Amino acid sequence: MQTIAPILPPATLGMLGGGQLGRFFVHAAHEMGYQVWVLDPDANSPAGRVADRHLQAEYEDFAALDLMAGQCAAVTTEFENVPAGTLEYLAKFIPVRPGAAAVSVCQHRIAEKTFLADNGLPHGPFRALHGVDDLADLPAELFPAILKVARFGYDGKGQATVHDATEALHAFNGFGGEHCVLEKRLPLDCEVSVVLAREANGAVQVFPVAENRHRHGILDVSITPARVSDALAAQARQVACHIAERLGYVGTLAVEFFVSGGALYVNEMAPRPHNSGHATIDANITDQYMQQVRALCGLPLGEPRAHSAAVMVNLLGDLWYRAGDERSHEPDWSVLHAVPNLRLHLYGKHHARAGRKMGHFTVVDRDVEAALSVALAARAAIGIVDD
């Protein structure tokens, strides 16, 4: 068991990335008595706007990294696409959790799928595509499939549904010959996710399994606890814990799963807090961001137990644009604030655009079906229309 000296307030912590996940980390760290520096190139980054200091620089700006290494007691990240070299460089001077080796697996889909296969973890059929030669002799049973770029794809970006090898080649060329993964499209019963936190000594705390609904490739609604069998939920937790152990992971980790034909398949891993874990802010004893702070600082993890069922609904930038109007308009938040058991969280982003995550709301209740009913009614009332 690894023993590390705890980092205590009022120490300064470093965050690589300035999005909403980083913003929630800053809030959690501040509540726990820490200061936070955020490194992000965006002058209007949501996390940078609430941090004690915002270093507006690129992730490979070594002058900024040296400044962070000199002033921060430890560093973490809020998104998986921070260059692994940046994490390796900072780790020469201060603790970096999670480490570059774990993050590099999660940030590259070929590495991720290979990791799953090598460790005997449940996954769907796939083929790694490094060049056009890898598209030769693709088995017919692999189709229909989804072609995904190996790097920088998220929220449905960098993906294409293909029905045969010809379509796969066309899509591969459309992605500019980027390395890709071709994944068999599975018939879905539902999608679930597990968020956990792991200490450097190997201790793990797991949040309740969430059930997720997507719209246009972006998470729309997350229901906790997931309405799946106890056996399936237990298997999901077990697989997620095994992944964290095999990665030597320290921090908050999310694992997304497909459920197909009653069986569980790992879809993706996220080396950070997760959108489906937002509900822990309002429904759990300790939320995923507090766990991230605790794991980073070598503190014992908190109790992840939920005190309420919860349903989280994402609010995308589309809401700011009325039909036929090119100018953005603030939605009528009074519609949501009128719901007694609903909490609205807006991320403070500088401008809205279609598909951009601008905020979310969470409805809590003793009963998950009651929470879902209220959340879906509020979702419709604020103007989210299914299509």
| 70-120: pLDDT as tens digits | 999 999 999 888 999 999 999 999 999 999 999 999 999 999 999 999 999
Least confident span in 78-87, 205-214, 275-284: 78-87
Q: Which CATH number fits the domain that encloses residue 376?
A: 3.30.470.20
- pLDDT band at residue 156 under the 50/70/90 scheme: low
pLDDT at 163: 94
pLDDT at 53: 98
Are 169 and 249 within one domain? no
Q: How do residues 80-92 score in pLDDT, each as one tens digit?
A: 889 999 999 999 9
Name residue 36's amino acid: V
Cα of first residue to Cα of last residue in the chain, in angstroms, is 52
Are 235 and 101 within one domain? no
> Residue 306 falls within a domain, yes or no?
yes
Model confidence at 15: pLDDT above 80: yes
**89 known member of a binding site:** no
> Residue 101 falls within a domain, yes or no?
yes
**212 known member of a binding site:** no
Q: For residues 94 and 4, is the Cβ–Cβ distance under 8 A?
A: no
Are 318 and 231 within one domain? yes
**268 known member of a binding site:** yes
Are 198 and 158 within one domain? no
Q: How far apart are CA 155 and CA 138, in angstroms?
A: 27
pLDDT at 308: 98
Q: For residues 314 and 355, is the Cβ–Cβ distance under 8 A?
A: no
Burial class (CB in 10 A: 0-12, 13-18, 19+), 70: exposed
Name residue 348's amino acid: G
pLDDT at 153: 58
Q: How do residues 332-348 score in pLDDT, each as one tens digit?
A: 999 999 999 999 999 99
Are 77 and 130 within one domain? no
**155 known member of a binding site:** yes
Proportion of the chain above pLDDT 70, given as a percent: 97
**156 known member of a binding site:** yes
As a whole number, mean pLDDT of residues 139-148 equals 93
**183 known member of a binding site:** yes
Q: For residues 288 and 275, is the Cβ–Cβ distance under 8 A?
A: no
pLDDT at 157: 66
- pLDDT band at residue 217 under the 50/70/90 scheme: confident
- pLDDT band at residue 2 under the 50/70/90 scheme: very low
Q: How far apart are CA 370 and CA 62, in angstroms?
A: 51
Q: How do residues 321-331 score in pLDDT, each as one tens digit?
A: 977 677 889 99
> Residue 118 falls within a domain, yes or no?
no
Model confidence at 208: pLDDT above 90: yes
Model confidence at 255: pLDDT above 70: yes
- pLDDT band at residue 137 under the 50/70/90 scheme: confident
As a whole number, mean pLDDT of residues 26-55 equals 98
> Residue 3 falls within a domain, yes or no?
no
Q: How far apart are CA 356 and CA 349, in angstroms?
A: 9
Are 253 and 367 within one domain? yes
**186 known member of a binding site:** yes
Q: For residues 309 and 371, is the Cβ–Cβ distance under 8 A?
A: yes
**148 known member of a binding site:** yes
Residue with tokens 């499939």: 145
Are 227 and 87 within one domain? no
**274 known member of a binding site:** no
Tokens linked to 132: 């056009």
Q: Which CATH number fits the domain that encloses residue 101?
A: 3.40.50.20
Q: How far apart are CA 377 and CA 99, in angstroms?
A: 42
What's the chain's average pLDDT? 95
pLDDT at 1: 41
Q: For residues 81 and 17, is the Cβ–Cβ distance under 8 A?
A: no
> Residue 144 falls within a domain, yes or no?
yes
pTM: 0.95
pLDDT at 176: 87
Are 247 and 339 within one domain? yes
Q: Which CATH number fits the domain that encloses residue 143?
A: 3.30.1490.20
Q: For residues 317 and 353, is the Cβ–Cβ distance under 8 A?
A: yes
Q: What are phi and psi of 111, to 5 degrees?
A: -60, -40
Domain stop point among 79, 106, 133? 106
Model confidence at 178: pLDDT above 70: yes
Q: Write out the DSSP string of 95-153.
A: -BSS-HHHHHHHT-HHHHHHHHHHTT--B--EEEESSGGGGTT--GGG-SEEEEESSS-
As a whole number, mean pLDDT of residues 176-203 equals 95
Pick from 43, 53, 11: nearest CA to 29? 11
Domain stop point among 184, 206, 233? 184
- Output 277 or 157, whichever has higher pLDDT: 277
Are 235 and 354 within one domain? yes
- pLDDT band at residue 162 under the 50/70/90 scheme: very high
Q: How far apart are CA 71 and CA 94, in angstroms?
A: 10
> Residue 387 falls within a domain, yes or no?
no
pLDDT at 124: 94
> Residue 115 falls within a domain, yes or no?
no
Are 207 and 343 within one domain? yes
> Residue 258 falls within a domain, yes or no?
yes
**349 known member of a binding site:** no
Question: Residue 95, Cα to own-chain centre: how many angstroms?
Answer: 22
The SS3 assignment for 202 reads coil
Q: Which residues span the domain enclosing 63?
A: 12-106
Domain stop point among 144, 162, 184? 184
Tell me how many domains the chain contains.
3
Are 304 and 196 within one domain? yes
**22 known member of a binding site:** no
Are 137 and 223 within one domain? no
pLDDT at 324: 66
